[in-house]
A and B are shown apart, each in its own frame.
Chain A
Amino acid sequence: MLKINNLQARVEAAEILKGIDLEVKAGEVHAIMGPNGSGKSTLCQVLGGRDGYEVTGGTVEFMGKDLFELEPEERAREGILLGFQYPVEIPGVKNIYLLKEAYNAQRKHRGEPEADTFQFLKLVREKLKTMQMDESFLHRAVNVGFSGGEKKRNEILQMLVLEPKLALLDETDSGLDIDALKVVSEGVNRLRSPDRAIVLVTHYQRLLSHIEPDFVHVLSGGRIIKSGDKTLAHELERNGYQGIIEEAA
């Protein structure tokens, strides 16, 4: 589904990603772990197509298409959903409006008729329940005045409504208390299916005890320095990143 080949990217003058290789297949859950500043968010933003993140080498294919040929909105419509580490507050745009526009943009892209308001509300209410969010969230401005945990729930709510093929979740677990972590994990697990893939970016193992990954990768200094199965996460938990970084050096 996603093939990253020797990806290099810079932000402003700094070379951040220094050759990343990663393949994610349908049905898989990958975890990317790594210390602060290792380039995890940069990788996510490069895949999302954010301005200012310049690709200097390598290729990324998504469902057989050259990802870098696509605008951010086209990537989303092709089925990539990026869960932001810092979800953006958008005063004046209601949550429900964003959800509906995004949902219909996808339907349109697939040549399907737009959902009517009634159908759409029904769908959204169901997803709200999963995320244990009050309906009032729909009528509030996107992320404005939301607590850290509420913002993350809101990201997952969008994911549940948009049902992406590939969910790229950047530190969706940070800033969550135990209960919220459960709710968010439950949301993500609902999306697991043989034809979808999930990439979790995190630096804590605790998320991975709720969402069990098939593969764990360690990102450090803009490279994946080690990959393994879920036991790698336990090893990290016990020994920290330092041991692995030294071992790789």
Chain B
Amino acid sequence: MSTNALSQHYAEQVQRVQDGLPGAIPEWLAGRRRGAAARFSEAGFPDPRQEEWKYTNVRPIATKPFMAAVTDAPLSEEALRAMGFQGLDAYRMVFVDGRLRTEFSDLADLPAGVTVQGLADALASDPDPLEPLLGTLAHDRFSSFAAANMAFLTDGAVIRLGKGVRLERPLHLLMVGSAGGPATWSHPRVLIQAGEGSDATVIEHYADLEGASGFTNTVTELRAEAGAQLRHYLLQDHADSAYHVGSVFVQQRRDSRVTSHNVNLGGRLVRHDLNVDLTEPGAEIELNGLFLVGGRQHVDTHTRVHHSSPHTTSREQYRGIGQGHGRGVFKGRVLVERGAQKTDAQQHSANLLLSPNAEIDTKPELEIYADDVKCAHGATVGQLDETSMYYLRSRGIDAEAARGMLVFAFADEVLERMELAPVRTSIERRLAARLPEAGAIDVIG
């Protein structure tokens, strides 16, 4: 579609959203949405001349006239099971094309002190408590994608954990794309407010029904108050024709601990930004990431860890595997503020190329303005270790199986950090299925 026609298309989309805003919508929200819409219209999609988008050309997204799905796609329990995690005992919210489908959701028996709601419902019934949570960590200026998410916001999840509350079972947010139309987009937003000393696991999980090729543009805002413990899974297992951009914002207070597990298996063009701000002493983040790119897939992950207070800790481990003509990017920025003494930051990025046509770029970026800190980073891109291959083969294991074992082991170093065994096992299976040479691997504990 021509640039003009596209601008026209998006102007109409913006207008439609503005017209669709119900009268009762509070001014703070209407204002934020207008601002975001203006920002998106003005900036358009990013292009590779911008430093942050140097390795990722979003042309395939920018040249399509996306619009929201118009009808509710049919969904079956069977399809849900196929996408889900066998054996996972979890609260569940299911979204299709960005809209909550309560008939497939199960939030029975939530403990006192925990609120889990659809965002659309929350905005319709009692929007004001969301004023400090929605769009306050994620700025429109961050990217036009974040702006678009705010401008076209329709639904999402709101999770609030009261002081000292412990959510025993994880909460599984299953965001499904349908094959509804040629160019549908959705803009789910996830808000997590983990109160003082609370403890929970939230699984943000993106998957597709067969044949989906839509664009999912997500924003997650996560606040961990003092002493909160949060485990956040960001699992992207879209169809290989789908587009996905996800921006995560984490803000942590004193002695809070957040663990992030970010796995990218599917998608045609995927970009993740994980932004973490450690604002008070004792705050600690663990970032674990794995991406697999094959075929013509492109997956780009940027993490930014901001040590803005002394005595804060980050542990980051990202791994990438490239096969076919896959293209991967990892850029990890660590910023230690002046005065953020006793920062302890470790970042490691390891990448494995299985084909001569695959490419992975990895780029650590450390900016340190304090002097009494421990910061370490390492980045490697390599091929399978020949000596290990030979060792396995010398034990009677054939070359194909040996290769599979080594690739799988490489990935599993990240996956084994997942606390939820059913999720880990299921991801391992899906990973193995995507590694032709590891097809024979039986996943044993």
| Interface positions of A (Cβ within 8 A of B) | 48-51, 71-73, 75-77, 81-82, 84, 87-88, 90-93, 97-98, 100-102, 105-106, 109, 141, 158, 162
Contacts and interface: CB of A to CB of B under 8 A. Distances in A.
B388 A88 contact: yes
Interface in B267-297: none
A162 B396 contact: yes
A50 B401 CA distance: 17
A48 B405 contact: no
B390 A50 contact: yes
A87 B410 CA distance: 19
Contacts of B405: 93, 97-98, 101
A97 B396 CA distance: 13
Interface string B389-427: 011111111110110011011101100000000000000
A97 B440 CA distance: 13
B292 to A, nearest CB: 15
Contacts of B395: 73, 76, 81, 98, 101-102, 105, 158, 162
Contact of A72 (B388, B393, B401, B444): B393
B386 A90 contact: no
Contacts of B386: 51
Nearest to A117: B444
Nearest to A143: B391
Given A88-B388, A90-B406, A72 B413 contact: no
Interface of B: 386-388, 390-399, 401-402, 405-406, 408-410, 412-413, 444
A106 B393 contact: no
Contact of A105 (B396, B406, B409): B396
B398 A73 contact: yes
A92 B396 contact: no
A88 B413 CA distance: 18
Contacts of B399: 71, 73
A21 to B, nearest CB: 24
B418 to A, nearest CB: 14
Given A84-B391, A88-B388, A73 B397 contact: yes
B409 A90 contact: yes
Given A97-B405, A97-B444, A90 B391 contact: yes
Nearest to A141: B409
Give chain B's interface secondary structure class.
helix
Nearest to A82: B394
A154 B262 CA distance: 35
A92 B398 contact: no
A84 B387 CA distance: 11
20 contacts: A48-B390, A49-B394, A51-B386, A73-B396, A73-B399, A75-B394, A76-B395, A77-B396, A84-B391, A87-B391, A88-B390, A90-B391, A91-B409, A92-B410, A93-B392, A93-B405, A102-B397, A105-B395, A106-B396, A162-B395
Given A91-B409, A92-B412, A101 B390 contact: no
A111 to B, nearest CB: 15
A105 to B, nearest CB: 4
Nearest to B402: A73
10 closest A-B pairs by CB = A92-B409, A76-B396, A102-B395, A88-B391, A105-B396, A72-B393, A73-B393, A93-B409, A77-B396, A73-B398
A141 B392 CA distance: 13
A100 B388 CA distance: 17
Given A51-B386, A92-B410, A102-B396, 6 more contacts: A73-B393, A77-B396, A91-B410, A93-B405, A98-B392, A109-B396
Nearest to B409: A92
A170 B37 CA distance: 70
B157 to A, nearest CB: 34
Contacts of B408: 92
A91 B396 CA distance: 19
> Which among A76, A92, A158 has the greatest number of chain B C-beta atoms within 10 A?
A92
Contacts of B390: 48, 50-51, 72, 88
A10 B399 CA distance: 24
Contacts of A73: 393-399, 402
B406 A93 contact: yes
Contacts of B444: 97, 100
Nearest to B413: A92
Nearest to B411: A92
> Which among B395, B398, B405 has the greatest number of chain A C-beta atoms within 10 A?
B395
A50 B405 CA distance: 19
Contacts of A72: 390, 393-394
Contacts of A82: 394
Nearest to B400: A73
A84 B393 CA distance: 13
